Chain A
Amino acid sequence: MKRLIVVGNGMAGMNCLEQILAHGPKFDVTVFGDETHVNYNRIMLSSVLAGEKAGDDIVINGRDWYAKHGIDLRVGVRIVDLDAAAKTVTGNDGSVTPYDVLLLATGSNAFMPPIQGLDKDGVFAFRTLDDTRALIERSGVGKKAIVIGGGLLGLEAARGLQVQGCDVTVVHLMSTLMERQLDPDGGQYLLGKMEDLGVNVLLGRTTTAILGNGHVEGVALSDDSLLEADIVVVAAGIRPNVDLAIKGGLAVNRGVLVNDYMETSSDDIFAVGECVEHRGVCYGLVAPLYDQAKVLAATMTGNRGPTYTGTVPAAKLKIMGVDVFSAGDWSEQNAEPVRYEDRALGIYKKLTVRDGKLAGVILVGDTGDSHRYMDWLRTDADLSNQRKHLLFPPPAADAGGEVAAMSDSATICGCIGVTKGTIIQAIHEKGVNTMSQLKECTRASTSCGSCSSLCQDLLRAVAPEFEDEVKKVICGCLPFAEDKLRDILRSQKLKSVQEVLEIYGNGIGCEVCKPALSYMLDMLWCGDHDEDRSARFINDRVHANIQKDGTFSVIPRIRGGVTSPDELRRIAAVADKYQVPMVKITGSQRIDLLGVKKADLPAVWADLGMPSGQAYTKGVRMVKTCVGTEFCRFGTQDSTGAGVEMERRFEQLFTPHKVKMATVGCPRNCAEATVKDIGLIGQENGWQVVVGGAAGKSVRKADLLITVETTGQALEASEIFFQYYRENANYLERTYDFVERLGIEKVRKETVYAPETVRHALLDRLAKSKARATDAWLEGQTPKTAAQFTPIRAMETVEV
């Protein structure tokens, strides 16, 4: 067999090798990679920096893949010389390796603009996994980071560094961001979104020098200003890496020149990916590289025939909550622009139409339709019949509508180049039923992941035993998973239920999604939203729990279960005065007045003179306590005092589902803290804080969150978990399901063991919500609407 050497262990080289292997065993393969890692997904580095993925999560082909195919993988070896006459390559380790066929997949290098001081410690490129890990290592809370370059990569780096706790400033040469992908208006919308995230952006300026003695201390800009800096990231673009090609005597312009068969000027040397130039274009995005790889694999394996004719460039910004998509030629020269914009919501869309066909597209703030536009671009679709619907398609009848309308040859996964037909074939012939099987089998959705919902829809429609792995959507009115929806509400700054339903849902809503949205908006905006009572269950309109006969139950707040003779007398008087049919001690150390008429509620509350116990809502119920050190001879902590304080801190707030808590003064656990949503268990010298317990429909022992020394620390840990649960649980998800779903390790890592800024941010948002929360029963004195509690009497009497 011929000896094939691949120089470059990146996405293009290994994808091409995968395609070559698909043609059967033709070569003895050796792969050289100058990085020390196996083949990984470079475009996900920003997700690694942003902490959304770990380095291991982005591996495309692990070592077992190389072993399985008998590939000799030499990582950490940079090929520094090529002797085309002798047909050998030389590594920086001194090794000389002969080849019969050579594939150059050397990719590109980060472009380093001429700036003084680039050699200082603390200056990074953002190109490799090692760069990324070094950046994570160096970044931290309060560190000042400067990103040079406001393109795709620079912005993703900026957001990632910010997530790591840095104060980030982006310095960009041009007058708008991402000017290669966005027109000035689109850039302006993007600027607003970046600034909303808290990233500083300086436009129209260059960095002239990096300052500091040995390591970075600041940068000097072209407007003579100085900025402090601990880290500088250079993301000023990429340049094809053509050194070896030049040494091999290949025809090289900006990149290695290739024809439509992906052949270079030499018979035995091929090239693919970012290092090549095809019809005058060098690509820096992943989809074109895969298109090239497929053609080259055919050419190299003796199946010369398919040709590469170029790829419509498309780019997507991968920053959570900042949706940006751009494809094709969006310049307005000789084209008809079609625009939509909404400044308040931060949505900007522009299409350019040339000769009745889509030429280019820009989407900022809402990229939901990007697949449709990509499909039009790829297929050169004639749009003359749908000119009026370009930006507003008739709504799809169901979630699978979009995918059903696609032809079998339509591309679903643009990165890997997988068509609808290929997926259907995999489902029928390989028995694919789940998303992970589909990824394994076709590699669809393994790159940028933006087609995953389309793949899901297709699986759902075609696979006989489809198993849904994604989170469920709230309901048919609003087809989004809740975490996605929270991102949307936050980034689009939506503050009312009806507004959300009108923009993202069916405009109507139902008894399932409306209360869920009501909760989400209250939580997200810390109470500063447009509350809509019509979207809430009757209990939350009148602050009492509806019973089977339409009457209500009333449970006043009795913090920690500690009451007084005076309160008890008032409760008794109310029960007599309003002829309350049943007075009952609840399991939560409280007193329930059952069978109160709606019209009597305001008077009952006034006579009780006690705040609402929130027994009717998805909110903070109570803290059950034992007597602790106050009276108990075994008590080791003041559990009663801690419980009363805990209830004060949490009361009046809403939660995804009810939250029941308990504090106990010793491990005898008399108030059952180990089966509560949050429990404090006193012990000698401190407290255990436990979460996710239950003794209802499910019985679950709570997990230990943290052990602390003081009551103050125990309460703070409870607050951090409480707010984390409020922000991340799905509506109607109890803590026992939530903690079980996430795993206590993740919960710990993201709450009490999270970086200080994260913990403080959770506490700040809790404090903000708490500051706006009020006792709902005050509405008894000042009703929200005229007939909130009492029936309306007709203005006219009926006379016969």
Chain B
Amino acid sequence: MSESRWIKVTVVDNIPPREGRAVLVGGREIALFNLGDRFLATDPNCPHQGGPLCDGIVTGSSVVCPLHAWKVDLDNGEVTRPTHGKGHCVGTYATRVEDGVVSVQLPAARAQEAAA
């Protein structure tokens, strides 16, 4: 199967507003953030030195890595601070909320990889 697919991850209450959590989808880790009005998901590690993004402080729709304060835009995964970090980015995943449950969309290749 090569299409992307939606995976139900967790009930919305498990992630408090303006916080992130590491979620395990298959064998893969994803950082999932509750922005209050929506959820956003990215790959888990900061492009700088691999810091856990889910442990960062959320500011607007960005997260600040707890290790060296690199700032990552959660909408597109791009690093917005520091200046010399621009151009780096992390992967993002589409999310949706249905009946109080957040789902993450794994792209085809990733879904296979995750299942492997």
Q: Which residue of A lies closest to B66 (CB)?
A: A538
- The A-contacting residues of B in range 1-43, CB under 8 angstroms, are 1, 5, 7-10, 13-19, 21-26, 29, 32
Within the complex, what minimum Cβ distance (angstroms) separates B76 from chain A? Answer: 18
Q: Bound state CA distance, A549 and B45, in angstroms?
A: 10
The answer on a CB contact under 8 Å between B21 and A533 is: no
Q: Bound state CA distance, A546 and B52, in angstroms?
A: 10
Q: Which residue of B lies closest to A793 (CB)?
A: B24
Q: Bound state CA distance, A511 and B56, in angstroms?
A: 9
Within the complex, what minimum Cβ distance (angstroms) separates B69 from chain A? Answer: 6
The answer on a CB contact under 8 Å between A510 and B64 is: yes
Within the complex, what minimum Cβ distance (angstroms) separates A600 from chain B? Answer: 14
- Among B15, B29, B49, B58, point to the contact of A787 (Cβ < 8 A): B15
Q: Bound state CA distance, A770 and B1, in angstroms?
A: 60
The answer on a CB contact under 8 Å between B21 and A511 is: no
- Among B9, B14, B56, B111, point to the contact of A538 (Cβ < 8 A): B56
- Taking CB atoms, residues of chain A closer than 8 Å to B66 are 537-538, 546
- The B-contacting residues of A in range 760-780, CB under 8 angstroms, are none
The answer on a CB contact under 8 Å between A800 and B1 is: yes
Q: Bound state CA distance, A800 and B5, in angstroms?
A: 9
- Among B23, B26, B51, B58, point to the contact of A798 (Cβ < 8 A): B26
The answer on a CB contact under 8 Å between B19 and A550 is: no
Q: Bound state CA distance, A132 and B85, in angstroms?
A: 60
The answer on a CB contact under 8 Å between B23 and A785 is: no
- Taking CB atoms, residues of chain A closer than 8 Å to B1 are 800
The answer on a CB contact under 8 Å between A508 and B23 is: no
- The A-contacting residues of B in range 68-103, CB under 8 angstroms, are 69, 101
The answer on a CB contact under 8 Å between B7 and A798 is: yes
Q: Which residue of B lies closest to A514 (CB)?
A: B57
The 6 closest A-B pairs by CB, nearest first: A534-B18, A798-B26, A538-B55, A791-B22, A511-B57, A511-B64
Within the complex, what minimum Cβ distance (angstroms) separates A535 from chain B? Answer: 7
| Residue of B8, B59, B111 ringed by the most chain A CB atoms within 10 A | B59
Q: Mark A540-557, 1 if CB is under 8 A from B, else 0.
A: 010000101110000000
Q: Bound state CA distance, A799 and B5, in angstroms?
A: 10
- Among A511, A533, A549, A798, point to the contact of B25 (Cβ < 8 A): A798
Knowing A534-B17, A796-B7, A798-B106, say if A550 contacts B50 (CB, 8 Å): yes
The answer on a CB contact under 8 Å between B7 and A792 is: no
Q: Bound state CA distance, A707 and B111, in angstroms?
A: 70
- Taking CB atoms, residues of chain B closer than 8 Å to A791 are 21-24, 29
The answer on a CB contact under 8 Å between A785 and B14 is: yes
A-B contact pairs, 20 of them (CB 8 A): A510-B59, A510-B64, A511-B56, A514-B57, A515-B57, A538-B56, A550-B51, A785-B14, A785-B16, A787-B10, A791-B29, A792-B15, A792-B32, A793-B24, A794-B23, A794-B104, A796-B7, A797-B26, A798-B26, A798-B111
Knowing A786-B14, A791-B29, A793-B23, say if A537 contacts B57 (CB, 8 Å): yes
The answer on a CB contact under 8 Å between A792 and B23 is: yes
Within the complex, what minimum Cβ distance (angstroms) separates A512 from chain B? Answer: 9
The answer on a CB contact under 8 Å between A794 and B10 is: yes
- Taking CB atoms, residues of chain B closer than 8 Å to A514 are 57, 59
Q: Which residue of A lies closest to B55 (CB)?
A: A538
- Taking CB atoms, residues of chain B closer than 8 Å to A527 are none
Knowing A534-B57, A787-B14, A798-B115, say if A792 contacts B8 (CB, 8 Å): no
Q: Does residue A795 face the partner (Cβ distance < 8 Å to B)?
A: yes
Knowing A797-B26, A798-B26, say if A792 contacts B57 (CB, 8 Å): no
Knowing A510-B64, A534-B57, A537-B57, say if A792 contacts B22 (CB, 8 Å): yes
Q: Which residue of B lies closest to A510 (CB)?
A: B59
Within the complex, what minimum Cβ distance (angstroms) separates A257 from chain B? Answer: 62
Q: Mark A507-539, 1 if CB is under 8 A from B, else 0.
A: 011110011000000000000000011111110
- Among A548, A786, A799, point to the contact of B115 (Cβ < 8 A): A799
- Among B26, B59, B67, point to the contact of A548 (Cβ < 8 A): B67
- Taking CB atoms, residues of chain A closer than 8 Å to B32 are 792
- Taking CB atoms, residues of chain B closer than 8 Å to A793 are 23-24
Q: Bound state CA distance, A548 and B112, in angstroms?
A: 31
Q: Which residue of B lies closest to A539 (CB)?
A: B66
- Taking CB atoms, residues of chain A closer than 8 Å to B19 are 533-534, 541
| Residue of B17, B18, B49 ringed by the most chain A CB atoms within 10 A | B18
Q: Bound state CA distance, A549 and B50, in angstroms?
A: 7
Q: Bound state CA distance, A535 and B64, in angstroms?
A: 12
Within the complex, what minimum Cβ distance (angstroms) separates B32 from chain A? Answer: 7
- Taking CB atoms, residues of chain B closer than 8 Å to A549 are 50
Q: Which residue of B lies closest to A791 (CB)?
A: B22
- Taking CB atoms, residues of chain B closer than 8 Å to A792 are 9-10, 14-15, 21-24, 32
